[in-house]
Amino acid sequence: MTLWQRIARETTGDDYAAAYARRFAALAARGQDVHGEAALVGALVQPPARVLDAGCGTGRTAVRLQELGYAVVGVDVDATMLREARAAAPELDWREGDLATLDLGETFDLVLLAGNVIPLLEPATLLAAAARLAAHAVPGGLVVCGFGLDADHLPGDCPVTPLADVDAAFAAAGLVAQERFATWDRAPYDDGGYVVTVHRRLP
C-alpha cells in the first residue's frame, strides 16, 4: 500500500477513488471552477502541445486538457484511481506507473503534477522521481507542480516536503526554477502553505 493509498483510506474510506471523483463533480455542479491546473497549463504552452499528467488520479485535469486540444497522457500509481479515470474517459491514454521508476519512452512539452503528488511520493524517492520527471520533458520543456507546504494544505498525516528539498532535487535532475505562484491562478507566491512551481528542463 502506498503512502497515498493509506492516507486516502484513513481519511475517506475504501471507496476513496469514487469519493474523490464525486467531490470534484459536486464542486463543478455548484458552479465552482475546478480547472485551475488546466488554465495554468494554457498560459504556459498552447495546444496541441503534449502534456503528461503525472499523478493524474481520477483524470479530472487530463480530461479538461484534452477538451482544450492538448495531447495528454495520464499516469498514476493507483489502479483504483485509474479505474475511475478510464470509466470517465475511456478514449484517453491512461497508464499505471510509479513516478520514481517511470519510463514511458517518450517526452512531453509539459509535465504536470497537481493534487499534492510531490509530498505523497513514497519516502526517499524524491530524487529518483525528479530525475524521471525531467527525463519525460523535452529539452526546454516545463515541469509544473502544485503542493502543500504545511498541515493545512496536506491530506491526513502526509509529511511536509520542504520547498528547498524540491528545488534541490529538481536542480540535480537538470530542472531550473522559472516561476512560483501561491495558487493555480498565478497569484504571487507569498511564502504561504501552498506553492505552484514552474521548472524548465535544460536544453
Domain that holds residue 139: 3-201
Which residue in 9, 41, 3, 20 sits closest to 126, CA to CA? 3
Place of cell 528545488: 167
**What is the helix (H) or strand (E) element at residue 9, kind and residue range?**
helix 3-12
If you count DSSP H runs as helices and E runs as strands, how many of each does the chain have, helices first? 7, 7
Q: Going along the chain, which residue ranges are E strands?
A: 50-54, 71-76, 93-96, 108-113, 137-148, 175-181, 194-201
Which residue in 123, 124, 97 sits closest to 111, CA to CA? 97
- How many structural domains does the chain have? 1
pLDDT at residue 27 tops 70: no
Over residues 159-193, the pLDDT tens digits come to: 999 999 999 999 999 999 999 999 999 999 999 99
25 pLDDT band, cuts 50/70/90, is: confident
Within 10 Å of residue 157's Cβ, how many Cβ atoms?
A: 11
* Collapsed DSSP state (helix, strand, coil) of residue 88: helix
Question: What separation in angstroms does the CA of 107 have from each of 52, 62, 184, 196?
Answer: 8, 16, 24, 22
48 pLDDT band, cuts 50/70/90, is: very high
Output DSSP code: residue 13: -
Q: Using an 8 Å Cβ cutoff, are 58 and 20 in contact?
A: yes
Q: Which residues pair with 89 in a beta bridge?
A: none
Q: Which of 26-35, 82-91, 97-106 has the lowest mean pLDDT?
A: 26-35
Domain with residue 101: its CATH number is 3.40.50.150
Q: Using an 8 Å Cβ cutoff, are 131 and 104 in contact?
A: no
% pLDDT > 70, the chain = 98
Q: Going along 13-61, which residue ranges are E strands?
A: 50-54
